[in-house]
Amino acid sequence: MPEFSRSTTTTLLLESLHDPLNQEAWSALDHRMRPIIHGVALRLGVSTEDAADVAQETMTNFLRSYRSGQYVRGKGRLRDWMCGIARNRVMDLHRSRSRRREAAVDVGDIARIEESGVRQLWNEEERKTILEQSMQELREKSRMSERTIRAFEMVLLGVPDREVADQCGMTVPEVYVAKHRVATKLRQIVAELTAAYDQEG
């Protein structure tokens, strides 16, 4: 995505989507939103394969609606609108399965999930996605060694510092330095990505 960086705001991406030839804007928005939608769908009780379909249908529905002027940004946040589309796709899927008696989840259970509950799932999946994308960027673009990043991840998992040092070929003080360096850089990346996700105009 040469034109769009991780810190490109959602607002700029949306403005760029009005050009049907701007595949970069679509790819950037898809990269940002698809994992969130997929995670929400999974948490609403669909299979991994069906969650991928829900994400695809949600993104396609969004783009078609956005370009036809159905989404008016001044009347609500993008995440709330997309969250509603995803919720409806999941409910449609459960209804379809229920009619064929394949449903493991009662459609009534999904229907009772308040929109605020789905928004909460969305927010949790968004934070998870931001953290995953931040870790990916840290690995790909920082000059930190894989050993340093691995030490940080092990500490996050609760592995004692001494054991981290032994497994990573470091001293305990080096583990402390690794934790600090990675945490500092990661916080910076997370803050930038969070600001980009939050900027919806």
Q: Which residues of the chain have pLDDT under 70?
A: 1-9, 100-116, 199-201
Residue 200 has what pLDDT?
58
What is the reported pTM?
0.81
Residues 18-46 have pLDDT tens digits of 787 888 888 888 988 999 999 999 998 88
Residue 56 has what pLDDT?
96
Residue 95 has what pLDDT?
78
| Tokens coding 153 | 């991840």
Convert 100-120 to b/e letters by CB count within 10 Å (16 or more is b). Answer: eeebeeebeebeebeeeebbe
Residue 2 has what pLDDT?
36
User: Which H, E and C letters describe the chain, residue by residue?
Assistant: CCCCCCCCCHHHHHHHCCCCCCHHHHHHHHHHHHHHHHHHHHHCCCCHHHHHHHHHHHHHHHHHHHHCCCCCHHHCCHHHHHHHHHHHHHHHHHHHHHHCCCCCCCHHHHHCCCHHHHHHHHHHHHHHHHHHHHHHHHHHHCCCCHHHHHHHHHHHCCCCHHHHHHHHCCCHHHHHHHHHHHHHHHHHHHHHHHHHHHCCC
Residue 39 has what pLDDT?
96
Residue 111 has what pLDDT?
59
